[in-house]
């Protein structure tokens, strides 16, 4: 790398304070978070965003429909993009992931490939290599995060991984869980972004984006609490999102769609126990994100085979 990294401190008095690679304008760009399941992408995202959920907004019908979050800092704006679809079970993971990731890459300025640095993470090397290659083919700057370094006792074990990914623009060991290395990661991202104005106003939370956040949060809880095919047969649609200014709270009414009666039984649980847990966990998470009390009301609806047709997908709220 020939460019010096900018220092991510507004008044820190660093030498390249206003010289940033000779650029003195505001930068803004899209950063795709890539990686196979369980490497820690969501944990990293939460860590990057902190508690400040600046914006989450869907843009249906574009490959940017999974904007996960926007980080606005003194240097500019990082728009984090999800690589959707990794929850899809029944297609070959490789093909599916790659296809989804490609759609996101088309929009990205930077690809952050998260890999699991523990021995567990060695299995998916081929998928990861493939993702990295595609990013490079598209001229997208590749940054590799070696995650979970807190769980690697002997740091020498990281050396082969550093070596393996030495073709990347940067390799950053991190612990998304504890936060180590995450500032170094953003330090590597800033110089890869093009100059330009911010894409989003950080304060401009739209009702639409919050509905989407609510639906995703509920869906996540279904995911965490059900098994086998159930998570994949689930979609969540927020019917009502009501901000009650007088009470300072938010009321969310959502439908959880499944494809079969048996799945409904599982999601509802014995005596309604599971749906209650899902609602409570979603309420807690959303209260934290939104910074106010949240009430969550859920209903489970069977919509046979919704995931198998475009019409079905539209009915549960997706734009296929
Ligand atoms: P994703 O599927 O890539 O989004 O992965 P998640 O963020 O859901 O994380 C998968 C699992 O790895 C969870 O149990 C996390 O707690 C764990 N995990 C994520 N980051 C770290 C880390 O830095 N260190 C450790 N030890 N575990 C982590
Ligand atoms: Mg995740």
CB of residue 47 inside a 6 A radius of ligand 1: no
**pLDDT score of 82:** 66
275 pLDDT tier (thresholds 50, 70, 90): very high
**pTM recorded for the entire structure:** 0.63
- For residues 37-64, average pLDDT: 58
In the reported structure, the alpha carbon of residue 116 is separated from the centroid of ligand 1 by a whole-number distance in angstroms of: 9
289 pLDDT tier (thresholds 50, 70, 90): confident
Ion ligand 2 residue ranges (Cβ < 5 Å) = 41-42
Q: What is the CATH number of domain 27-192?
A: 3.40.50.300
In the reported structure, the alpha carbon of residue 186 is separated from the centroid of ligand 2 by a whole-number distance in angstroms of: 19
Residue of minimum CA distance from atom 18 in ligand 1 = 40
CB of residue 43 inside a 6 A radius of ligand 1: yes
- Cα–Cα distance measured from residue 220 to residue 177, given in angstroms and rounded to the nearest whole number: 18
Considering only residues 113 and 307, tell me which one the structure prediction assigns the higher pLDDT.
Answer: 113
Most confident residue range from 92-106, 156-170, 197-211, 303-317? 156-170
- Cα–Cα distance measured from residue 31 to residue 189, given in angstroms and rounded to the nearest whole number: 8
CATH classification for the domain delimited by 210-316, as one of 3.40.50.150, 3.30.830.10, 3.40.50.12780, 3.30.300.20: 3.30.300.20
Most confident residue range from 65-79, 88-102, 122-136? 122-136
CB of residue 35 inside a 6 A radius of ligand 1: yes
Q: What residue ranges in 61-156 does DSSP mark as E strands? A: 67-73, 76-81, 110-116, 141-147
pLDDT at 201 over 80: no
CB of residue 69 inside a 6 A radius of ligand 1: no
- For residues 145-170, average pLDDT: 95
Residue ranges covered by each domain of the chain: 27-192, 210-316
Considering only residues 103 and 1, tell me which one the structure prediction assigns the higher pLDDT.
Answer: 103
Q: Which two tokens stand for residue 104?
A: 């996101």
Residue of minimum CA distance from atom 7 in ligand 1 = 40
- For residues 178-192, average pLDDT: 95
- Contacts for 134 with CB less than 8 Å, ≥ 6 apart: 98, 101, 102, 105
- Of 112, 122, 131, 132, the C-alpha closest to 158 is 122
- For residues 65-89, average pLDDT: 67
């Amino acid at each position: 790398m020939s460019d010096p990294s900018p220092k991510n401190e507004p008044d820190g008095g660093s030498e390249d304070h206003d010289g940033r690679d000779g650029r003195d304008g505001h930068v803004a760009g899209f950063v795709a978070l890539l990686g196979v399941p369980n490497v820690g992408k969501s944990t990293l995202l939460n860590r990057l965003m902190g508690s400040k959920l600046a914006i989450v907004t869907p843009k249906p019908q574009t490959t940017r429909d999974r904007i996960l979050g926007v980080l606005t800092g003194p240097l500019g704006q990082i728009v984090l993009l999800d690589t959707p679809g990794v929850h899809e079970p029944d297609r070959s993971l490789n093909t599916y992931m790659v296809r989804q990731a490609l759609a996101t890459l088309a929009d990205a300025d930077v690809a952050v490939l998260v890999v699991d640095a523990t021995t567990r993470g060695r299995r998916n090397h081929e998928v990861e290599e493939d993702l990295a290659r595609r990013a490079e083919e598209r001229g997208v700057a590749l940054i590799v995060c070696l995650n979970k370094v807190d769980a690697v006792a002997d740091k020498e074990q990281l050396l082969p991984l550093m070596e393996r990914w030495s073709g990347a623009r940067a390799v950053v060991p991190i612990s998304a869980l504890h936060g180590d290395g995450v500032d170094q990661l953003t330090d590597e991202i800033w110089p890869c972004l093009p100059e330009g104005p911010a894409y989003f106003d950080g304060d401009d939370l739209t009702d639409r984006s919050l509905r989407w956040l609510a639906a995703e949060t509920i869906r996540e809880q279904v995911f965490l609490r059900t098994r086998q095919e159930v998570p994949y047969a689930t979609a969540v649609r927020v019917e009502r999102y009501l901000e009650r200014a007088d009470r300072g709270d938010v009321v969310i009414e959502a439908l959880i769609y499944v494809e079969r009666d048996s799945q409904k039984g599982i999601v509802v649980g014995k005596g309604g126990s599971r749906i209650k847990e899902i609602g409570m966990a979603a309420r807690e998470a959303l209260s934290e994100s939104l910074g106010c009390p949240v009430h969550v009301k859920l209903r489970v609806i069977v919509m046979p085979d919704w995931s198998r047709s475009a019409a079905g997908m539209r009915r549960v709220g997706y734009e296929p």
